[in-house]
């Protein structure tokens, strides 16, 4: 398949990109790596009339400001592996990065692109929800800061308004040392996840002080495990406790049933992967 006709515009500055996107509204889309948008266009699932190429904009910085790590929308996935601030503070993010697409895709795909595309099985939207990230969006009307929990509305649907574009993702740097992990099951390494689970733990020895768990691929947006997170607080983390947390998480979600997997198998995976991810996060302590 080949894409429908569109007009191509190369933006030289953020201001120019935003003014073009404002002019085109619903009919315009920014393009960076194109690793999600172009497949959608080739399959004619997306038919933007105007593409605004933002590859030459300076939106690829990774910087720390106070207790916030800000990642520009044009940071390419392969850079996460070489970023000491991610390795130190967001180990679950780093672990998740290995599961994003394939090496060629990770070299070109961008953070802003993946977030805006909002595939329900994608790693980065899940990681944003896991880490309580803030999505920074900009339009000619100014900047909006949207909590990740409110950004992902449904499959491929976000809180972005026509004419608005993601410019950065902000991650709150935790006060205390955190341990994290991310595991997923896909048909083939790098394929879309059937289920992916991310976990972040704050530990005192084996005792959980705080826990966060999120799942990709179960529902139409990433989901957090409120009941399992609550259950883990104050408990000693053992295989049994981790299994129980997985059961609680699986009971609290309503998994989709599709060609990739039945809802029942997804529920089974949530139990097992939650348990494995928690244990992997704890073992990463050593």
Partner 1 sequence: MTQTTLTVNGQTRTLEVEPRRLLADIIRTEFDVSGVHIGCAHGVCGCCTVHIDGIPRLSCLTFAVQCDGKEINTVESLGGFDATHVLQQAFKSEHGLQCGYCTPGFLMTLAPYVEKKVANGEMPSDEEIREAISGNICRCTGYHGIVAAVRKAISNQLEGQQA
Report the distance separating Cα 66 and Cα 196, nearest Å.
Answer: 31
Q: Which stretch binds partner 1 (CB under 8 A): 63-71, 100-108, 160-168, 242-250?
A: 100-108
**Per CB under 8 A, 82 contacts partner 1:** no
State the Cα torsion 36-273-218-258 to the nearest 10°. Answer: 80
List 13, 15, 25, 42, residue binding partner 1 (CB under 8 A): 42
- Footprint on residues 52-81 left by partner 1 (CB under 8 A): 53, 55
Q: Cα separation of 42 and 32, whole Å?
A: 16
Total binding residues toward partner 1, as defined by CB under 8 A: 28
Q: Which is nearer to partner 1, 38 or 220 (CB)?
A: 38
**CA of 239: how far to CAs of 105, 224, 233, 284, in Å?**
35, 21, 15, 15
Whichever of 50 and 268 has its CB closer to partner 1, that residue is 50
For residues 146, 126, 84 and 212, what is the CA-based torsion angle, rounded to 10 degrees?
A: 90
* Distance of alpha carbon 181 from alpha carbon 158, whole angstroms: 26
Q: How far is the C-alpha of 142 from the C-alpha of 138, rounded, in Å?
A: 6
Is 268 an interacting residue with respect to partner 1 (CB under 8 A)? Answer: no
Q: What is the DSSP letter of 218?
A: S
Helices and strands per DSSP (H, E), number in the chain: 11, 14
Q: Output the six-digit token pair for 281.
A: 């996060």
Q: Does 107 bind partner 1 (CB under 8 A)?
A: yes
85, 105, 173, 220: residue in contact with partner 1 (rule CB under 8 A) = 105
Q: Which residue in 28, 101, 180, 198 binds partner 1 (CB under 8 A)?
A: 101
The phi, psi pair for 265, rounded to 5°, reads -65, -40
Nearest Cα to Cα of residue 211 among 253, 240, 246, 185: 246
CB of 118 to partner 1, least distance (A): 17
> According to the binding rule CB under 8 A, does residue 34 interact with partner 1?
yes
User: With binding defined as CB under 8 A, does residue 198 bind partner 1?
Assistant: no
Instruction: Check binding of 5 to partner 1 (CB under 8 A).
Output: yes
Q: Which two tokens stand for residue 91?
A: 């180990």
Distances (CA, A) of 162 to 23, 27, 30, 132: 10, 8, 11, 24
Part of the chain binding partner 1 (CB under 8 A), chosen from 50-58, 79-87, 160-168, 176-184: 50-58
51 part of the interface to partner 1, by CB under 8 A: yes
1 contributes a contact to partner 1 by CB under 8 A: yes
Select the residue interacting with partner 1 from 102, 177, 233, 285 (CB under 8 A). 102
Sole binder of partner 1 in the list 23, 70, 132, 190 (CB under 8 A): 190
Residues 149-188 that bind partner 1 (CB under 8 A): 188
The binding site for partner 1 (CB under 8 A) comprises 1-8, 31, 34-35, 38-39, 42-43, 51, 53, 55, 101-105, 107-108, 188-190
């Amino acid at each position: 398949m080949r894409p429908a006709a569109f007009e191509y515009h190369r933006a030289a500055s953020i201001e120019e990109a935003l003014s073009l996107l404002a002019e085109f509204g619903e009919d315009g889309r920014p393009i960076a790596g194109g690793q999600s948008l172009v497949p959608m266009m080739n399959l004619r699932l997306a038919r933007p009339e105007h593409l605004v190429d933002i590859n030459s904009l300076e939106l690829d910085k990774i910087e720390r400001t106070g207790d916030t790590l800000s990642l520009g929308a044009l940071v390419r996935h392969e850079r996460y592996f070489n970023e000491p601030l991610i390795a130190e503070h967001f180990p679950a993010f780093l672990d998740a990065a290995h599961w994003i697409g394939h090496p060629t895709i990770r070299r070109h795909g961008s953070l802003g692109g993946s977030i805006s595309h909002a595939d329900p099985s994608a790693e980065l939207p899940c990681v944003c929800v896991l880490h309580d990230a803030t999505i920074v969006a900009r339009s000619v009307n100014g900047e909006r800061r949207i909590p990740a929990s409110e950004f992902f509305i449904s499959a491929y649907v976000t809180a972005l308004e026509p004419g608005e574009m993601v410019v950065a993702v902000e991650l709150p740097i935790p006060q205390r040392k955190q341990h994290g992990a991310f595991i997923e099951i896909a048909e083939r390494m790098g394929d879309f996840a059937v289920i992916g689970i991310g976990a972040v733990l704050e530990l005192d020895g084996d005792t959980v002080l705080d826990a966060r768990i999120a799942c990709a691929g179960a529902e139409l947006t990433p989901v957090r495990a409120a009941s399992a997170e609550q259950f883990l607080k104050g408990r000693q983390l053992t295989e049994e406790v981790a299994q129980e947390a997985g059961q609680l998480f699986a009971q609290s979600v309503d998994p989709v049933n599709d060609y990739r997997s039945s809802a029942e198998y997804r529920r089974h995976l949530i139990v097992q992967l939650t348990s494995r991810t928690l244990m992997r996060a704890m073992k990463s302590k050593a």
